Structure 1
Amino acid sequence: MDNELAHEGSAFINFRHYVPDPKEHGFRWVDVNQLRFSAESVDDPGLLAALIGHEQFRNDYAGGGVLPEGPRHGPYWLRLITPDLYEPISQEKAVQILREWVDPLWDVPAELEDDLQREVFDRVAAADGIYYLSELGDEAIHDWGRVHDYFHEFVLIDRSAGQLTLVVAADD
């Protein structure tokens, strides 16, 4: 079974570009990475393992970008992330987590809402499988991994499009 992934593109939504005062929701962002997989890739744990092993996964999301030999992923030590740490969740649960993170008490600017809809929520709706990285605990946090106030990570698998999308929504 082939679980090789090819990076197709990415999008970065920085809330500070949409709000007049960056102190108000201005330190939130969403990073979206799209990877293509072949039709023979039918095993979700295998796809998750391929993602964890992919160069694009080696991102600390703290300004350094992708480091091909990097030991970190978000706030975590990369070596401690395994496919079984990803919990399958429903589309409704994924949307709930994201909407609560965006802040239900905030009037989201129309342009930001449009970008979130196109880059995140439409992909969630199209996904056959949605996986959420559970909180890994203090032992998995790397040496300066507490730079994020919130760190939400979703893996969206869209079999009809042959696409796996890594969505990271965080505050710093």
Structure 2
Amino acid sequence: MTSQLTHLGTTFINFKNATYQWVDIKRFRLPEAPGDDHDALTLLIEHELYGDTYATDPGDDPHRHGPYWRNRITCGCFEATAADTEELRLRAWAEEHAALPDHLHAELERQLYRPLRTAEALYRLRDLGEDSFHDWGWVLGPFHELVLFDRTARALALVVASDD
């Protein structure tokens, strides 16, 4: 497959509550003939904006992704998961260190939890272990990465939730 993903926009939610927690959501349009989920995950990993340490500008570091060396991430590192499992995991993470104000609850519901529940397919990047960390990958706290598919709308969303 030679088609590429088209970046549609990014939403960054900074908790601003002294926990250093944040959620980054990058939205993409799938190509006309995206192939299967494996093909789409490969396109995502190859996209220039996947080179994101979440400490510099997206696309500025082609060798790192989150805490990991990017060359350690393949589509085989993603596992299918269920929306209810991931929503519970993310809600627990989001409120682990401090109560969230109402406006942040509402924004997470609109930008994260609702799209999570309506995704037609959902994949989680498994923990690749510290041996896959890049030289300063330990800086990021718990690292949650999900890929949400809406095939009807030809859309893919990359969700990363972490702290630094």
TM-score (norm 2): 0.93
Question: Relative to 1, partners in 2 of residues 1:103 and 1:65: Cα closer, same or farther, differing over 3 Å?
Answer: same
Question: Relative to 1, partners in 2 of residues 1:13 and 1:136: Cα closer, same or farther, differing over 3 Å?
Answer: same
Question: Relative to 1, partners in 2 of residues 1:120 and 1:65: Cα closer, same or farther, differing over 3 Å?
Answer: same
TM-aligned CA deviation for residue 42 of structure 1: 3.8
**Quick one: distance in 1 between partners of 2:60 and 2:4?**
16
Is the 8 Å Cα contact of residues 12 and 30 (structure 1) preserved in structure 2?
Answer: yes
Equivalent residue of 2:104, what SS? Answer: helix
What code does the residue aligned with 2:39 have?
Answer: G
**Residue 88 (structure 2) aligns with:** 96
**Residue 75 (structure 1) aligns with:** 67
Tell me the number of residue pairs that the alignment of Structure 1 and Structure 2 aligns.
164
What code does the residue aligned with 1:61 have?
Answer: Y
Is the 8 Å Cα contact of residues 2 and 41 (structure 1) preserved in structure 2?
Answer: no
**Residue 26 (structure 2) aligns with:** 33
Consecutive unaligned residues in structure 2, runs of 5 or more: none
What code does the residue aligned with 1:60 have?
Answer: T
**Residue 108 (structure 2) aligns with:** 116
Question: Relative to 1, partners in 2 of residues 1:106 and 1:159: Cα closer, same or farther, differing over 3 Å?
Answer: same
Where does 1:56-75 land on structure 2 (aligned, <5 Å)?
Answer: 56-62=49-55, 64-68=56-60, 70-75=62-67
Consecutive unaligned residues in structure 1, runs of 5 or more: none
Identity %: 38
Where does 1:48-63 land on structure 2 (aligned, <5 Å)?
Answer: 48-62=41-55
Cα deviation code 1:58-100 (max 9, x no counterpart): 00012x1223552000000001100010010011111011111
TM-score (norm 1): 0.89
Q: CA RMSD in A?
A: 1.6
**Do structure 1's residue 169 and structure 2's residue 161 form an aligned pair?**
yes
Question: Relative to 1, partners in 2 of residues 1:129 and 1:3: Cα closer, same or farther, differing over 3 Å?
Answer: farther
The ranges of structure 1 where at least 4 consecutive aligned residues each deviate by more than 6 angstroms after the TM superposition are: none
**Quick one: distance in 1 between partners of 2:91 and 2:35?**
30
